Amino acid sequence: MKRFVLLLAGTVIGVLAGAWYGWSVSPVTYTEISPDQLRPEFQADYVLMVAETYAADHDLGEAAVRLSRLGQADLAGLVRRTAEAYRAAGFPEADCALLLNLARDLDHSSTLPTAAP
Q: Could you say whether residue 39 binds other proteins (CB under 8 A)?
A: yes
3-class DSSP assignment, residue 29 = coil
**Contact status: 37 vs other proteins (CB under 8 A):** yes
Number of residues counted as binding other proteins (CB under 8 A) = 53
d(CA 103, CA 100): 5
Which span (49-57, 71-79, 80-88, 105-113) binds other proteins, by CB under 8 A? 49-57
Please report, for residues 8, 68, 98, the alpha-carbon distance to residue 94 in angstroms, rounded to integers and kept in the order given. 62, 23, 6
Kindly tell me which of 65 and 112 has the beta carbon lying closer to other proteins: 65
d(CA 63, CA 104): 13
**Residue among 53, 72, 101, 109 that touches other proteins (CB under 8 A):** 53
C-alpha 80/C-alpha 75 separation (Å) is 9
Residues 70-99 that bind other proteins (CB under 8 A): 91-92, 94-95
Told to check if 11 binds other proteins by CB under 8 A, we report yes
Amino acid at 20: W
Inter-axis angle of helices 75-88 and 60-68, nearest 10: 80
Residues near other proteins (CB under 8 A) are 2-4, 6-24, 27-35, 37-40, 42-43, 45-46, 48-50, 52-53, 55-57, 66, 69, 91-92, 94-95
